[in-house]
A and B are shown apart, each in its own frame.
Chain A
Amino acid sequence: MTVLGGIGFTAPWLLLALLALPVLWLILRAVPPAPVRRLFPGVVLLLGLRDDESITDRTPWWLLLLRIIAVAAVIVGLAGPVLNPQQGSTGKGPLLLVFDASWAGAPQWDEKLEFADLQVTEAGRSGRTVGFLRLTAPQAPVFQAADVQQGAVAGLQPEAWQVSAPLAQQAISALAGASGSFDTVWLSDGLDYPGRDDLLTALQQYGDVRVIQSPFPVYGLMPPRIEDGSVLLTVHRSSGVGPRRMTVLAQGRDPSGTARLLASANAVFAPGETEIEATLDLPSELRARITRFELQGQRSAGAVTIADDGLRRREVALVAGRVDREGLELLSPLHYLEQALQPTADLLTGPLMEMLPANPDVVVLADVANLSAAEDEALADWITGGGLLLRFAGPRLASSEMSRETEHRLMPVRLRAGGRTVGGAMSWGEPKALAPFDKDSPFHGLSVPSEVRVTAQVMAQPDPTLADRVIASLNDGTPLVTRKPLGQGQIVLFHVTANAEWSSLPLSGLFVEMLERLAVSSAAKRPDASDLAGTTWMPEQVLTGFGALTDAGNLPGVEGPDLANAPLGPELQPGLYASEDRHLARNVVEGDAFPGAADWPADVPVEGLTVSRETDLGGLLLSLAILLLAMDVIASLWIAGRLIPVRTAVPALIAALLLLPPAPGAAQSGDDIATALTSELALAHVLTGNSAVDDIAQAGLQGLSDTLFFRTSVEPANPAGVDLERDELAFFPLLYWPISADQPIPSDEAYSRLNAYLRSGGMIVFDTRDADIAGFGGASPNGRKLRALAAPLDIPPLEPVPPDHVLTRTFYLLQDFPGRHTGRDVWVEAAPPDAEQIEGMPFRNLNDGVTPVVIGGNDWAAAWATAPDGRAMLPVGRGFTGERQRELAFRFGVNLVMHVLTGNYKSDQVHVPALLDRLGQ
């Protein structure tokens, strides 16, 4: 590969073709552009005209330039240009990749892997075998072919701990098995650690060592400290470079248990500074919910610190039996408890029933014997839910009958009456000392001060369960502290008082330590090895190298002293450890000193972690050439005048867009339909399901509507077909219901609506359409169907239209009501029985109401039916009489609609003279 100006060429000789470009320029210049073809009637005048010059028109220079660049791009592209050409390393023999693989490298782990991948690829090109060694989990390296190792290298992960001296020794011993010589590429994480020099020396024995180390500092977050109520978090970095702003995030759970960001604090590194502090002021309620702190934007275990009990302040409710001894502070049953708990816990005092809803972690009952039933119940519930009830004995408890005969549920043991006093003036024995703690006891490992003496105690009844429940006893074997689980919580009884009356225990440091072990109080400072002696801690969650908390799985437990002191490693992974109710975290960055940046001897080459991938430019250039040639096509067309003019193209484009299928319009909502129907009057017919009948009904109502429009001031809109099951009827004054024998009976719901429609003033015109073959009420199929249909309807008594019915004179004066047939019987609501014709008056006074139904069989719709072009659709009668019959049918329709709309208006006697005049009487 030849490198010219930072770009390598795989086929550099092809570049000589660039020399031909000027020639191409001349050639292209001489070739005229394609001719423009034009329509021109005046061409006859041009015939015979010769061009003056033999030199032709030239291609425009910019078009030439475009083509030259395109050709040049092709030539250069074919020459195989490569950006950042990798000059292969000269080494021979196997290659060992050494990873620190600690948390410190996690933020740049991807770059490290990419670099390693590059090294492996390169080694593969020169036929070298490759092995790798992770110093945080050293195993003897196996040298294999590069392509075999490529996948293995890509799967490497950083560990959450730092390389320690023992691990370095392990690594050296793992190397001992390797034979021959090899070169080493050491991907350092940038932090110093013990044993690194030895390892370097060991590696240099085998061959050259190159160190790859990022120049960026490593950041670490120390566990929180609590000072004056605020949380202090120290942020370290390995080298003091320029200023840097760090944000510390406090992650935890909100009251509903959802993980979220609870607080954040900023701290700014001044240039050269390697250590700063961020301060978080949090209410203890919030503080107790924090699960971990982390540095924003740093993806490593060192940037995470897990919060444990050290951050929690427990809430302890103190309840004392005797509160009447005002002023005698030192004798107060709660004095020593308060002193012991004050630094590390939030104390609640007050009535028990008021404190329990605050859900304290611990309730201390100091010499409380009698609880009310409600208190008893509430306390038992609270314990069952996980509370710790800590009871102290005292004179009241000793003298009470509580838990005497049977074990009280809030007492761990039964008590003997009266208790005992030892070593007093009136007793024989010596005051008793404490026996060493059992292995099973939560106090195991605490040293017992010799000066603690117990002079009085309450005595436990020797029950079968007693032995299990004793967690501390006096040296004569009598129980001093007993414990009983209840639900998820527990009850602990100190058989002495909480003050110094019965024993010197509250005066000793052991008392505080015992409270800590019971998780009544959390330690003010981190427990050391002696504090944790005798305890075993199970890992609950462990950190990955990237700082994520994962379930610990089945990792083995850790002895307390080891947890406190042992260096982190595969056996003691950083994470959260639990023992009984206590939680302790081991964090990655701990202690006072943060490791500095790794310094390498002058003879070891140290390189930055810059990866510059080879980039093949050939494809890019060839694409550029194609693009330029496409532009050349457009430009040539433009010069030749062949481009579609914008004026043509734009409307065509718009038309094409318009031709796209339009989005389906939103279906008309029910409100819209209602608005349309109510804004104008519309007649309606019932859809029978028989399309022939429905079409005739529709056309008939259309014809009637047109007639109304032409002859009266009623101007209906287009008639509507009504589906009784779905449609609202209230919009229509008149419902034409043609009866066909095969139509379905409407549902009950439809009938209820039909009845409501009739009661609210609607009119239904039933038309059996069979007056030609059957009289009304006859046994024709339609007649039977009508009876079936109308049975559920709320129809008043009917009668044939009387001659003085208002229907005969609402608009036209009519005597009979023909449709397509001329049946006589049309039935309407019967007149009230008291209506009588007054002498001299042509009409009875029938002033009330519109008949809700009109029943007939004259097939009116067929007579009204009008085609869209105005022709009658069906013949009526013969000749002129037929037309007269149709006219009368229309008149009946007009009268019908008028009757519906005007009610009994025309039956008012006011109109009688005019009507008489028209009747010629």
Chain B
Amino acid sequence: MNEPVTLRTRAEIEAGRLPPLLARAERLAGTVLLGEHGRRRAGLGDDFWQYRPAREGDSRRMIDHRRSARGDIQFVREREWQIAQTVMLWVDQGASMRFASSADLPEKIERARLIGLAMAILLVRGGERVGLTGTALPPRRGNAQVLQLAEMLTRDDEHDYASPEHRAMIPHARAIFVSDFLNDIDEVELALTKAADRGIRGALLQILDPTEESFPYHGRTIFRSVGGTVTHETLKAGELRTRYRDRLAERRDRLQSLCRATGWQLGKHHTSEPAQSALIWLYHALDGSRR
């Protein structure tokens, strides 16, 4: 499943279900890195750009029937982007994400990569520039970037709990952090505050395994992190359930308040749910329709 090609294919399938995402460019001025189409813009207010033949992955509603009726080929009407938005992805690749409570469920990291790449494909199709946080993969446009992303997203991080990359953030871009957010909350806070300082807005998507939510354990148990760096032994795991869930809720409250303070949005996703729901939530979160 770690094969970039497989991930790409599955991500394309996921992305094929949604219309291209038009990221909202709120801060038009200052953030605009002029792309080539910006120079060719014919006139203000005219958002038609070109007709192009329909490709795989285009949904039917994108087909321009008036144009297509004149020939045998189906055409898609592309509009001119007024703004190319920059979106930065951070997908937690730490060891803690490589966890699935049962063989029927995907690992959290797999779900996170899928959602992240699907989002990237949507954005690229919409003409946005997508990259990873940090300096590993700067935002670019085009399908080649999707391939690069797919490759970068399959690199496991050796650390048990990875922290969001907060360096080299492009001001006034948008960002998506996909993680379980079980890592050091201070790091998240640092990243979010730094991002807010630079005018970056975005969404946090917390991906959890169902057992991490329900904590269905009891009896004498030694809990160990995936990387093996953290262990905790308890004699009656069942007694810990309520307190664990309290702590989890407390963490989510902390994230929520952070988001509220910085203008981000916080989403929650369980690996037992379909990936589509998380993608739709991200779509709406970035689209800003729920502003």
Residues of A at the B interface (CB closer than 8 Å) are: 32-47, 49, 51-53, 56-57, 639, 647
Contact = CB atoms under 8 A, between A and B. Distances in A.
| Leading 10 A-B pairs by shortest Cβ distance | A41-B96, A43-B223, A40-B223, A35-B220, A45-B247, A42-B212, A46-B232, A36-B221, A35-B222, A37-B222
B219 to A, nearest CB: 6
A644 to B, nearest CB: 13
B236 interface: yes
A45 B235 contact: no
Contacts of A41: 96-97, 99, 108, 180, 182, 209, 212, 225-226
Max chain B Cβ within 10 angstroms of own Cβ: one of A32, A51, A52, A647: A51
A33 B220 contact: yes
Contacts of A49: 232, 234, 240, 243-244
A646 to B, nearest CB: 13
B210 to A, nearest CB: 12
Contacts of A52: 236, 239
Contacts of A34: 220
A58 to B, nearest CB: 10
A35 B247 CA distance: 24
Given A42-B244, A43-B232, A36 B225 contact: no
Given A46-B244, A49-B240, A35 B231 contact: no
Given A38-B224, A44-B230, 4 more contacts: A41-B180, A45-B247, A47-B232, A49-B243
B contact patch SS: mixed
B248 interface: yes
A47 B230 contact: yes
Contacts of B248: 42, 45
A32 B220 CA distance: 8
Contacts of B97: 41
B240 A46 contact: yes
Contacts of B235: 32, 51, 56-57
B177 interface: no
A47 B184 CA distance: 13
Nearest to B103: A647
A45 B182 contact: yes
Contact of A57 (B180, B219, B223): B219
B155 interface: no
A597 to B, nearest CB: 73
Contacts of B225: 39-41, 43-44
Contacts of A56: 220, 235-236
B222 A36 contact: yes
Contacts of A53: 236, 239
Max chain A Cβ within 10 angstroms of own Cβ: one of B96, B97, B103: B96
22 contacts: A33-B220, A35-B220, A35-B222, A35-B233, A36-B222, A38-B224, A39-B225, A41-B225, A42-B248, A43-B223, A43-B230, A43-B232, A45-B247, A46-B244, A47-B232, A49-B232, A51-B235, A51-B240, A52-B239, A53-B239, A56-B220, A57-B220
B161 interface: yes
A39 B234 contact: no
A contact patch SS: loop
A32 B180 CA distance: 33
B251 interface: yes
Interface string B87-122: 000000000110100010000100000000000000
Interface string B160-179: 01000000000000000000
B217 interface: yes
Interface in B137-171: 161
Nearest to A52: B239
Interface of B: 96-97, 99, 103, 108, 161, 180, 182-183, 209, 211-212, 215, 217, 219-226, 230-236, 239-240, 243-244, 247-248, 251
A838 to B, nearest CB: 61
Nearest to A34: B220
A37 B222 CA distance: 5
B249 to A, nearest CB: 10
Contacts of A35: 220-222, 233
Contacts of B180: 41
Contacts of B234: 46, 49, 51
A216 B65 CA distance: 108
B124 to A, nearest CB: 31
Contacts of A37: 221-222, 224
A917 B243 CA distance: 99
Contacts of A647: 103
A32 B222 CA distance: 13
Given A45-B251, A57-B235, A38 B221 contact: yes
A119 B238 CA distance: 68
A329 to B, nearest CB: 110
A129 B81 CA distance: 121
A167 to B, nearest CB: 82
Given A42-B248, A47-B230, A57 B236 contact: yes
B104 to A, nearest CB: 10
A49 B234 CA distance: 9
Nearest to B243: A49
Nearest to A43: B223
Contacts of A33: 219-220
Contact of A42 (B215, B233, B243): B215
Nearest to A54: B235
A639 B220 CA distance: 10
Contacts of A45: 182, 244, 247-248, 251
Contacts of B232: 43, 46-47, 49
A650 to B, nearest CB: 14
Contacts of B239: 51-53
A41 B244 CA distance: 12
Max chain B Cβ within 10 angstroms of own Cβ: one of A35, A38, A39: A39
Contact of B226 (A32, A36, A39, A47): A39
Contacts of B224: 37-40, 43
Max chain A Cβ within 10 angstroms of own Cβ: one of B182, B224, B225, B235: B235
Nearest to A47: B232
A219 B90 CA distance: 101
Max chain B Cβ within 10 angstroms of own Cβ: one of A44, A51, A639: A44
Nearest to B228: A39
A61 to B, nearest CB: 15
A485 B226 CA distance: 111
Contact of B217 (A32, A38, A639): A38
Nearest to B94: A41
Max chain A Cβ within 10 angstroms of own Cβ: one of B97, B183, B243: B243
A37 B96 CA distance: 16
Contacts of A40: 99, 211-212, 217, 223-225
Contacts of A36: 217, 219-222
A788 B100 CA distance: 79
A35 B218 CA distance: 10
B219 A46 contact: no
A42 B180 CA distance: 9
Contacts of B219: 33, 36, 57, 639
A789 to B, nearest CB: 60
A57 B96 CA distance: 29
Contacts of A43: 223-225, 230-232
Nearest to B238: A57
B223 A38 contact: yes
A355 to B, nearest CB: 94
Contacts of A46: 223, 232, 234, 240, 244, 247
Max chain A Cβ within 10 angstroms of own Cβ: one of B99, B161, B232: B232
Nearest to B213: A42
A589 B180 CA distance: 100
A32 B247 CA distance: 27
A38 B216 CA distance: 12
Max chain B Cβ within 10 angstroms of own Cβ: one of A41, A46, A52, A639: A41
Nearest to A44: B182
A253 B250 CA distance: 101
Contact of B161 (A32, A38, A44, A51): A44
